[in-house]
Each structure stands twice: as C-alpha cells, then as structure tokens.
Amino acid sequence: MKLLPSLKEKKRYITFEVLADEKISQNEAYNAVELNSKRYLGSLGMAKAGFLPMNIWKNNRGIIKVSNKEIDNMKASLPLIKNINNKNVIVRSLTVSGLLNKAKSYI
C-alpha cells in the first residue's frame, strides 16, 4: 500500500561550502558534518531531521538532504565545525532548495 503524497515526509536540500586552505575530500566533509550535527542535535534530532548526505561534491561544496521541519537546526550546526582532520575550516550554508537540480546549480 502506497503512502499518499500528503503523508510523505517533505525534504529540502541544503547546499554548503567548506572554506579551507587545502582541498577537502567528500568523505572527510560529510563525516565531519554528520558527526558535528549529531553532537549538536543528538540522535533523536538526527532521526527527526532525516539527514542524508547526497553523493555530490565539487569545489569544496556539497549537498545534504534534510526534513523541511529541521532546516534551521541543521543550518545552525554547520558553522560549529571548526576542524576537519586537523585542518582549520569554515563551513557555511549557501542555499536551501526543494529541488535537487536547483541545489546542484549552486555547486
């Protein structure tokens, strides 16, 4: 039995950028975002957010998929990342979109 569209969880795509002196790999960035978000939101908050890193990474920019109700909390957790593998970084969110193709246009 299929879910009605009104009962499905709505999603948003957050495009973020990692500012660093060196190039950061996709795995390093997504692991740091997930670890820091889990530290900030907790396990229950991560479950509510429906955090899912998308396999899209280019020029130190990436996309994560989250629930539309937890966008503010997820965006608040991104600037708290200060180090990725002992490299000083600044992580900032660029845009929030409901369409993946629109989010890809910011990468």
pLDDT tens digits along 59-78: 999 999 999 999 999 999 99
Residue with tokens 């900032």: 92
With respect to residue 4, please indicate whether it lies within any of the assigned structural domains.
no
Q: How confident is the model at residue 8, as a pLDDT?
A: 86
Range of the domain at 38: 10-104
Q: How confident is the model at residue 43, as a pLDDT?
A: 93
With respect to residue 73, please indicate whether it lies within any of the assigned structural domains.
yes
Starting from the edge strand earliest in sequence, which strands make up the sheet with 83-84, in order? 52-58, 61-67, 11-20, 87-97, 83-84
Beta carbons within 8 Å of 57's beta carbon, 6+ residues apart: 26, 29, 30
Question: How many residues belong to the chain?
Answer: 107
Q: Looking at the whole model, is its pTM more than 0.85?
A: yes
Q: How confident is the model at residue 2, as a pLDDT?
A: 87
Per the DSSP assignment, residues forming a β-bridge with 91 are 18
Q: In the chain, which stretches have pLDDT less than 50?
A: none
With respect to residue 5, please indicate whether it lies within any of the assigned structural domains.
no
With respect to residue 81, please indicate whether it lies within any of the assigned structural domains.
yes
- Quote the number of domains for the chain: 1
CATH number, domain with residue 14: 3.30.70.3250
